[in-house]
Structure formats: structure tokens, C-alpha cells
């Protein structure tokens, strides 16, 4: 069988708006549950005199997984057409934010859930904000429990209009709003007979419409220099291809020094014939056609498509240090193989990562807070926007000798003096 492409989606919604039910429905309707699982849960419900709920299905499913192997239980998988979907259920925002910012998790798209009867809640707004903080741009909004509002088009349109306007303020433009009933299965895997006025895609079809962001070899070359070795009068630059492909004959530019040279050879150990190229994910060394001075920490790229270079940028960070992150204090920023002294120039907004509620302090960032900030580095650094290239768009902050925070680059900024 051809290998399925993996696609990661996070589901978020206010408690009780129907997330577990929706997931249960999605798994049941795509035949993704273990054989006999649906009947088993129905039986248990009958014996206990409980009304069957799709949410139980999912809860019981997770419990079973938990007993099997101790994996991250907030993740489950299902196959549909040519994809394997990894569903990241985010009950704890703190863990989710931390995992996303540290690179441990990578949601490529999000499904936001809103109860049609209850409408947009403060939590729904905070969820939108969380997605914008993480740079997740592919979003579908499910307006759930349409059965409670008589499958009424105007009720759906009102929720859509309100939430769309709110998300627009965050520069988030959802691909689609879907009127659904997770309980009854309307517009989840099957088109609803109750809502002929809705001509759009079902949730399942919408998942298939999400586009896989380019990654690995599909991105422009990024080769952060880890070490420079002198060897038989030659200089070998060593590191890892984080994105794209490195080829003999390529004209490279090194950032931030802005020096250029041509790749003369690729060096590999234990191979009889040196390779002509190396692609993303592989470590290797290479030599240049002329001796130029290049340092650890610089990023090699193709001349036509270099990274950004600046000593100021806007970023979203997660702080986990015991002492708060403060303005006017010096920290160390590590981005790819570069380490540079940094300072927090401005705190734009801070939120509590557990509750997602906004905090008032603009002077410091406490443990487990997430913040939108402006970072100033002592010397210019090469980097990318996280949305363009994750390995060179992500950094950690070091206080003393410990990694105390992580962040993603949102946007390069010009020097204030300019």
C-alpha cells in the first residue's frame, strides 16, 4: 500500500461544546475504532442504564490506549483516503502551547468548536488567540449542536458573523464554517439532510482540503554551521541540513556575515564516493571553492533565497523559568547553532497558559505564561519566520545555564534607529 501522508490537527473548544462527541463521531463514522468497540460501549451503556453517547466512545477509546502503551494519550490517529490524521486533543492548553513552541508537537491545522445554542464564549475567543499565537493559519470552525436551534440557518449565520469578525482582528481567516450536530452526525462524515441550505463541505471533506505545509526537502536550503574543521589544509564546514538540499556547485550565502562561495565538495565519512548532494535531516560536511572566514552559528542558504537577518524581531514565547523573564536583563538566545546575548525589549501581551486569560503585567513574564514580545539581540541573527521554516524559526532562551523558555519567530523588525 502507498504510504499515507501524516497530517496533524488540533481540536479546541469551550468545555461542553461537544468536542469529545465530535471526535467519537468522526472515529465511528470513518470505521477507525477498534473492531467491536462501538458495540461494546453500547452494551456497557445498556447494562448501566445510561443513554449511549458518542463522547463515551472516545473516552473509553482513550482509556484503552492508555492501558495498552503509555504514549501521549492526547493523540489518536485515523486514516481517511490518502492521509493518516493525528488528532491532537488539547485538554491542557499549557502542555499544548509548551509542546508546540518547543517543537515537540506540530499542529498543521485546527478545528474550532462552538455550540450553536450558547454561541461565542470568552473561551472561544481565547482559543482563536492561542491559534494565532502559534501561527496556525488553517482553521475550520464547527458550529455544533445545530439540532438545538432547529437546524436554523439564521442562528448559524449569526454565530459565523460574530466569530468571523473576531478572528479577522487576529488576522485569522477560517477556510470554512460548518453547521453540524456531532450527536446526530450531521455534516461530520455525512452531509446533513436537515440543513439543505448548507452547500459547503462536511467536516471530513474539510480535513482533506487542508494543505500540507511544505517541509524538509521542499523548503529552501538552510544549513546552520555547527563547526569548522581544518583538515589537510582544507576547511570543512560541518552541520545538519535543516531544510532543502545542499548540492555541489551551489552558490551559497552565509548569514549574517553575507559572505558567498561555491560548494566544491560534500564530505561524508565511510562512503567510497562522495555524494553530490545531501537533503534535509542529514548531517554532513562540505568544502568551498575559496577560503572565506565562516563561523559557527551562521546559516548557509542559496543566494536567491536567504533567511532574514535582524537584531530585532517579534516572537511568541513560553516561559518556564523559576524566576520571571524580565525586561532590561541579559539572557542567551539559541537559534539553530547560533548563541547570542538578548534582551526583552517589549511585552506586547501576556496570557496565562492554563486558563488562556490575559494578564496585566507588561514588565515581566512569570512561569507558565505565554507572551507576545519584541526581542532585541546584541548582534544581528539569521532566522526565518516560524511559518516559513520551523527549524530556523524557533529558539530557546537560556538563563544561567538552563533553558528557561522557548519561542517562535513571527516577524523580523527593523532597527529602531533606522
66 interacts with ligand GDP by CB under 6 A: no
- Minimum CB–partner distance for residue 70 and ligand GDP (Å): 23
> Apex CA 353: angle with CA 350 and CA 357, to 5°?
60
The grid coordinates of residue 67 equal: 492501558
Q: 142 or 389, CB closer to ligand GDP?
A: 142
CA separation, residue 218 to residues 244, 280, 303, 345, 394 (Å)? 6, 9, 17, 35, 19
Residues 165, 130: Cα–Cα separation, whole Å:
16
Number of residues in contact with ligand GDP under rule CB under 6 A: 17
- Of residues 172-201, those binding ligand GDP (CB under 6 A): 181-183
- The answer to whether 203 contacts ligand GDP (rule: CB under 6 A) is no
What is the per-residue DSSP string for 336-364? TTEEEEEEEEEEEEEEETTT--EE--SSE
d(CA 255, CA 293): 12
**In angstroms, rounded to a whole number, what is the distance separating the alpha carbons of residues 166 and 27?**
31
Smallest separation (angstroms) from ligand GDP to the CB of 223: 44
Of 112 and 182, which has the nearer Cβ to ligand GDP?
182
Task: Determine if 17 is a binding residue for ligand GDP (CB under 6 A).
Answer: yes
Nearest distance, CB of residue 6 and ligand GDP, angstroms:
24
For the bound state, the minimum distance from the C-beta of residue 175 to ligand GDP, rounded and expressed in Å, comes to 21
- Residue 20 contacts ligand GDP per CB under 6 A: yes
**Residue 70 neighbours by CB distance under 10 Å:** 8
- Member of 147, 153, 205, 368 binding ligand GDP (CB under 6 A): 147
Contact in structure between 116 and 156 (CB atoms under 8 Å): yes
Exactly one of 62, 148, 201, 248 binds ligand GDP (CB under 6 A); which one? 148
Count of other CB atoms within 10 angstroms of residue 39: 10
**Where does this chain touch ligand GDP (CB under 6 A) — which range of 8-16, 32-40, 168-176, 258-266?**
8-16
| Strand-pair partners of 302 | 252
- Among 86, 99, 132, 144, indicate the residue that binds ligand GDP (CB under 6 A): 144
Q: Which of 19, 93, 312, 338 binds ligand GDP (CB under 6 A)?
A: 19
- The residue ranges that bind ligand GDP (CB under 6 A) are 13, 15-21, 53, 55, 144-145, 147-148, 181-183
Amino acid at each position: 500500500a502507498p504510504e499515507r501522508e501524516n497530517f496533524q490537527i488540533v481540536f479546541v473548544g469551550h468545555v461542553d461544546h461537544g468536542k469529545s462527541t465530535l471526535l467519537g463521531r468522526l472515529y465511528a463514522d470513518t470505521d477507525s475504532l477498534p473492531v467491536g468497540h462501538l458495540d461494546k460501549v453500547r452494551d456497557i451503556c445498556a447494562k448501566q442504564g445510561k443513554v449511549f453517547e458518542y463522547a463515551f466512545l472516545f473516552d473509553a477509546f482513550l482509556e484503552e490506549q492508555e492501558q495498552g502503551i503509555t504514549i501521549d494519550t492526547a493523540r489518536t490517529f485515523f486514516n481517511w483516503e490518502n492521509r493518516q490524521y493525528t488528532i491532537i486533543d488539547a485538554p491542557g492548553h499549557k502542555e499544548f502551547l509548551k509542546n508546540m513552541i518547543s517543537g515537540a508537537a506540530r499542529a498543521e491545522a485546527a478545528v474550532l468548536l462552538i455550540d450553536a445554542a450558547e454561541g461565542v464564549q470568552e473561551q472561544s475567543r481565547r482559543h482563536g488567540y492561542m491559534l494565532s499565537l502559534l501561527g496556525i493559519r488553517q482553521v475550520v470552525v464547527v458550529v455544533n449542536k445545530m439540532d438545538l436551534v432547529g437546524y436554523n440557518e439564521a442562528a448559524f449565520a449569526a454565530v459565523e458573523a460574530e466569530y468571523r469578525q473576531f478572528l479577522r482582528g487576529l488576522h485569522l481567516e477560517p477556510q470554512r464554517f460548518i453547521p453540524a450536530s456531532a450527536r446526530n452526525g450531521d455534516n461530520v462524515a455525512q452531509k446533513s439532510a436537515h440543513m439543505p441550505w448548507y452547500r459547503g463541505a462536511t467536516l471530513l471533506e474539510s480535513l482533506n482540503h487542508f494543505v500540507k505545509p511544505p517541509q524538509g526537502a521542499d523548503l529552501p536550503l538552510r544549513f546552520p554551521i555547527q563547526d569548522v574543521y581544518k583538515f589537510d589544509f582544507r576547511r570543512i564546514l560541518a552541520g545538519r541540513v535543516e531544510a532543502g538540499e545542499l548540492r555541489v556547485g551551489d552558490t551559497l550565502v552565509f548569514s549574517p556575515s553575507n559572505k558567498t562561495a561555491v560548494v566544491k565538495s560534500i564530505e561524508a565519512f565511510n562512503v567510497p564516493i562522495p555524494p553530490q548532494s545531501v537533503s534535509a535531516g542529514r548531517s554532513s560536511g562540505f568544502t568551498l571553492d575559496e577560503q572565506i572566514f565562516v563561523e559557527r552559528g551562521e546559516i548557509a542558504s542559496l543566494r536567491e533565497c536567504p533567511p532574514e537577518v535582524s537584531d530585532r524581531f517579534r516572537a511568541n514565547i513560553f516561559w518556564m523559568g523559576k524566576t520571571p523573564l524580565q525586561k532590561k536583563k541579559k539572557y542567551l538566545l539559541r537559534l539553530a547553532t547560533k548563541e547570542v546575548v538578548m534582551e526583552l525589549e517589549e511585552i506586547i501581551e501576556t496570557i496565562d497558559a492554563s486558563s488562556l486569560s490575559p494578564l496585566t503585567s507588561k514588565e515581566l513574564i512569570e512561569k507558565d505564561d505565554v507572551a507576545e514580545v519584541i526581542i532585541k539581540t546584541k548582534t544581528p541573527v539569521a532566522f526565518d519566520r516560524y511559518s516559513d521554516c520551523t527549524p530556523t524559526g524557533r529558539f530557546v532562551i537560556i538563563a544561567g545555564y538552563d533553558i528557561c523558555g522557548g519561542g517562535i519567530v513571527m516577524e523580523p523588525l527593523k532597527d529602531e534607529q533606522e
